[in-house]
Structure 1
Amino acid sequence: MTTHISKAPGAGTPAPRTTLLRAITAAGGLATVASTFLAWTWTSDFPGDLTVYGYPGGLQVLTLALGLATLLFAVAALDVRGLRWLTPAGSTAALRLLALGAFATTWFTLLAIAVDQGGLVNLEPGGWVAAVATAVPVATAFLLTDDTRPVCRPRQLPSWADILIIAAVFALGLYVVNYGIQTDEDNPEPFIGYLIALCFAAAAFLKAGLITRLSGLTSTYRSLTLVAALVTALVFPFTQDKASYTELGVNIAIFATVALGLNIVVGLAGLLDLGYVAFLGVGAYTAALVSGTAASTIHVTFPFWAAMLAGALASLVFGVLIGAPTLRLRGDYLAIVTLGFGEIFRIAVSNLDGTSGPSVTNGPNGVPNIPPLEIFGFNFDDEHSFAGFTLDSNSNYYLLMLLVTVIVVLIFSRAGNSRIGRAWVAIREDETAATAMGINGFRVKLIAFALGATLAGVAGTIWAHVQTTVVPEQYVFAGPVPPNSTFLLAAVILGGMGTIGGPLLGAALLFLIPEKLEFLQDYQLLAFGIALILLMRFRPEGIIPNRRQQLEYHETGQLDVPDQAALSGSAVGVTKAEA
């Protein structure tokens, strides 16, 4: 018996209507690009100066980028040779998202001009052109039929081409990060537009399959990818022209490192720790008391390496002391106990003032005037010249924190891939089953708790010298300003539990957004709640997902029972001829 598969006439060739819609979408993308070279308003009071003809400025740059991406993806959808690699998973979903991104960014800018300047009369003709031009691709893209398909294996490229792609991606990533960090600090509009454009662009690239292709490429060249990431991070302080921008990088690196330590406890071992910020405080107070400051009550001076070891050891001891009696609890009970420990730490250091208790921490006044770090004669508060660049104190601390982050990443990676790491995952998935297989659940959980506390203590020693002051109010469960346990836990969940990049990205976003949008600082908990609700609904595995959890949270269809039509082989276009 021979099976013949008949092919409908014209199969594989887009219908004339589809081709026309794609062409109109491409034309709309081109018009969007052209509109950014026109003036959108007459006054330069709006941030970015959108009054110039001939080149884009401010938020127009974002519209230009999204319009150009819409144009390229629409042309790629027309099966133009050389651009098919842009849409390995189909073009329709990505086109819709890019068109929506350009539309949302442009209309947000135009509405912001009208609100800030006092009415739509402040729009120049270029603004109206942009409004219409961005609406056209949205209308046509949603009329296209969905062409989503599985991502196929790409055509093999030379090694040098793959290396260039990885380098270009990291260079583009550095530019995107710098654009967000260097937005106007006094006006929220540029950063809000940046967030809108970034979210739509990232979702579009994910739907198009580009991120999947890139993930496969970085997996193939894992060592090269790690080197590229490290070089990009090293270059960061040399690309900043303000000390405040580098200070953002220092704080993000510190909290990302602490979040990565919490990820061992929460992401790998599955232990809900709501008082983790206390271990950061233990390390910070220890380093402050042995730093040689006149405000210290123990009057000793340790070199930095000894202070860091002391902070790490103190946090380790506290982790063991707190974990030993409490880690026999599970779930909500453990979360309540750790929450209580965090509050006990804050209240205890507030009372160790010589009046309510022994004189150790100066009570609510804390330990001020912590001297700058100095390693082998290198003072981190002084400016230093390197290859024609001047590194200020923030750049010095950033590079030091980068070294600590690399060490923490190595520890997390090695621990997660070890036998202990596999035991943590087994405990997280089902502690009863893991215990039945011979895993000592208490010992394994205590190791996770102690290791996470130690890493937080190491970051706390640097945090104390960066802030030059340590006070109890810095270490609370929830508050408008990080660090706090809510912030760290949200960074782990938002970024992706059990991964390395997840907490790093989550901490960067959750620190940068309130810093740039000051009006959100009083509503930080509300913003966290809304973000987590949306995350649990649309992407419960986090922004950078763990592969195992991604399969758990989403239906894969592997266990679906095929219908009778599929079993009988009566698909359309299949004819059977008997031999």
Structure 2
Amino acid sequence: MTTNPTEQTPDTAAAARSTALRWATAAGGLATVASTFLAWTFTSEFPGDLTVYGYPGGLQVLTLVAGLFVTLLALASLGVKGLGWLVPTGSAKALRMAALGAFGTTWFTVLAIAVKLGGLVNLEPGGFVAALASAIPLVAFLLPDDTRKAGRPRELPSWAEILVIVAVFGAGLYVVTYGIDTEYAELFTGYLITVGFAMAALIKSGAIARLSALTAKYRQVTVIAAFVAAAAFPFTQNTDVYTLIAVNILIFATVALGLNIVVGLAGLLDLGYVAFLGVGAYTAALVSGSTASAFDIQFPFWASVLTGAAASLVFGVIIGAPTLRLRGDYLAIVTLGFGEIFRIAMGNLDGVSGPQITNGPNGIPNIPDLEFFGYNFGEPHTVLGIELGSYANYYLLMLLVMILVVVVFSRAGSSRIGRAWVAIREDETAATAMGINGFRVKLIAFALGATLAGLAGTVQAHVQHTVVPEMYQFAGPVPPNSAFLLAAVILGGMGTVTGPLLGATLLFMIPAKLQFLQDYQLLGFGIALIVLMRFRPEGLIANRRAQLEYHETDQPDAPDKGLPESGVGITKAGA
């Protein structure tokens, strides 16, 4: 039997179809980019001024970036030289995520124009062109899943690999700064859509895994680059408006990282953790020299910080000693009660219901700015020819505090006591049987977490210039509170360093930027946690152990090599 040489085999036909779909995806990405140079609406009432031809503005810029990203991924999957680093593994899954990002950003903009201005009649032809063009890359969903594994990356000189790390952190600084500096809710929503799907695409493509291997190889360079990028943020700001948001994010993230010791490492469900932040803040306020303080004393900066941390440590031991013999729900109820007792007690120490210490519901206002060796944090200072405002000073201070907390968390987590925490979290009965003193180990975790929260609280008191009981509730309209902190740890990824930092950043910045969501925060968090439990139960940034536990079915079966062929003795199923 002879075959026609022009007749395609099934494999050849599938390859040709896959190539055509990738070219269509690239063409759709380019069409999406081109559409941003057209006017999308005829009125400038929609923020961002999308009425100009030849010059993208506002949300059009995000659509342009998303379309360009789709095009680059599609060309990389086609084997275009110089772009292979974008898709070490899964080009099909990465293309789908990128296509969804471009589609989501563009259609959100079109619908926002229609809703805000009163109908689709307010769209110029460019808006319809953009909507259709962004739908073309969705043909990537017709691609079959990738089955190839990542090949060995081409070796680069050491200086080139270091340059890649520096460039990535520089790009990260720009992306974060752009998000914090967004001026209106529509632009920030589009930013979240674009960045979220772009990160998902990079994860699916394997690029993030390669970058992680590179940062692990040059750990010191990575740490320095991360610190420099973070420290450079206030130098990119002209005012203190967004720097204040960044300061609060750092405070929130620092406290969340302290809670991660208690919840993520030791497995203790603490629902009143924000009270330790309040202990540190009230202690610093009382010794700050404030005119409303019940004590006519003013400690220097270092003494105020140590006093606040020590007070939180003492409260952590006092509360933990009788309660840590409880487990599970009982421990959660007791810690929730402690948080509420602290808030109510601070409101009753007003000279009427109790001693005159905290001024009751009025709190302690007029807390002066910190001063350290003559450097007043409340005054602008010129550094490297750039004037830094007062919140920039507190931002740099909180950055140093966060570095200290990260070091403590990392060292403690990898130490002998850290391994004991993990053992207690996994199975306290088994850990006790192996000789671990469960009560002492849990008390250390509780006390250390309380100390770190108190440390952040001492700075928060001076940043806010006042402390009131309502700032330290279980759940409230303004973070940080216990519900926010616990959600940040779970959302970001328990037991990791970067997870709570990312979770705290998202949970603080989203309500701060999207004011209309403030009345629905708890509803939004509940929906987010449900979605997370379904698709990524280990959190956005997963601990390796948790990732293996939650995705056991995704792991390849153990090989049969070495097992008895007769079936006598150990079998694969029995193992």
TM-score past 0.5 threshold: yes
1:112 match: 112
Q: In structure 2, do the counterparts of structure 1 residues 333 and 541 end up closer, same or farther at CA, with 3 Å as the change threshold? A: same
Does 2:282 align with 1:280? Answer: no
CA displacement at 1:11 relative to structure 2: 6.5
Q: What whole-Å deviation, never above 9, does each CA across 1:146-199 have from its counterpart, x for those lacking one?
A: 224333331211111111111111111111111111111xx3111111111111
Letter in 2 for 1:52: V
Larger relative contact order, structure 1 or 2 (CA cutoff 8 Å, min sep 6) = 1
2:338 match: 341
Partners of 2:409 and 2:15 lie apart in 1 by: 52
- Alignment TM-score, normalising by the size of structure 2: 0.94
Partners of 2:471 and 2:501 lie apart in 1 by: 21
| Stretch deviating more after TM superposition (224-233 or 293-302) | 293-302
Deviating beyond 3 angstroms after TM superposition, the runs of 4 or more aligned structure 1 residues are: 8-14, 556-563
2:521 match: 524
Count of aligned positions: 555
8 Å contact kept, 2:239–2:389: no
Letter in 1 for 2:160: A
8 Å contact kept, 2:250–2:402: yes
Q: Secondary structure at the match of 1:94?
A: helix
8 Å contact kept, 2:112–2:186: yes
Does 2:390 align with 1:393? Answer: yes
Q: Secondary structure at the match of 1:142?
A: helix
1:577 match: none
Q: In structure 2, do the counterparts of structure 1 residues 521 and 148 end up closer, same or farther at CA, with 3 Å as the change threshold? A: farther
Q: Write the mapping of 1:552-563 to structure 2, written as runs, cut at 5 A.
A: 552-556=549-553, 558=555, 560=557
8 Å contact kept, 1:27–1:71: yes
1:29 match: 29
Q: What whole-Å deviation, never above 9, does each CA across 1:466-519 have from its counterpart, x for those lacking one?
A: 111111010000011112100000011111111110111111110000000001
8 Å contact kept, 1:497–1:541: yes
Q: Write the mapping of 1:542-561 to structure 2, written as runs, cut at 5 A.
A: 542-556=539-553, 558=555, 560=557
**Overall identity of the aligned pairs, in %:** 74
Q: What whole-Å deviation, never above 9, does each CA across 1:94-134 have from its counterpart, x for those lacking one?
A: 11111111111101101111111122121112111111111
Q: What whole-Å deviation, never above 9, does each CA across 1:263-299 have from its counterpart, x for those lacking one?
A: 0000011100000000000000000001111111121
Q: Write the mapping of 1:229-244 to structure 2, written as runs, cut at 5 A.
A: 229-244=226-241
Q: In structure 2, do the counterparts of structure 1 residues 118 and 316 end up closer, same or farther at CA, with 3 Å as the change threshold? A: same
Q: Secondary structure at the match of 2:46?
A: coil
8 Å contact kept, 1:105–1:193: yes
Letter in 1 for 2:66: L
1:86 match: 86
Partners of 2:238 and 2:38 lie apart in 1 by: 29
Q: What whole-Å deviation, never above 9, does each CA across 1:197-219 have from its counterpart, x for those lacking one?
A: 11111111111111111111111
1:141 match: 140
Q: What whole-Å deviation, never above 9, does each CA across 1:218-240 have from its counterpart, x for those lacking one?
A: 11111111111000001000011
Q: In structure 2, do the counterparts of structure 1 residues 345 and 250 end up closer, same or farther at CA, with 3 Å as the change threshold? A: same
1:164 match: 163
Q: Secondary structure at the match of 1:15?
A: helix
8 Å contact kept, 1:91–1:148: no
Partners of 1:34 and 1:44 lie apart in 2 by: 21
1:467 match: 464
Does 2:211 align with 1:205? Answer: no
188, 201, 217: which one aligns with 2:185: 188
493, 501, 507: which one aligns with 2:498: 501
8 Å contact kept, 1:480–1:523: no
Unpaired runs of 5+ residues, structure 1, are 1-7, 569-579
8 Å contact kept, 1:93–1:204: yes
Letter in 2 for 1:389: I
Q: Write the mapping of 1:210-289 to structure 2, written as runs, cut at 5 A.
A: 210-289=207-286
299, 303, 306: which one aligns with 2:300: 303
Partners of 2:389 and 2:245 lie apart in 1 by: 13
Partners of 1:338 and 1:363 lie apart in 2 by: 22
Partners of 2:127 and 2:147 lie apart in 1 by: 34
Letter in 2 for 1:113: I
Q: In structure 2, do the counterparts of structure 1 residues 301 and 47 end up closer, same or farther at CA, with 3 Å as the change threshold? A: same
| Stretch deviating more after TM superposition (474-483 or 153-162) | 153-162
1:5 match: none
1:372 match: 369
Unpaired runs of 5+ residues, structure 2, are 1-7, 566-575
Letter in 2 for 1:194: Y
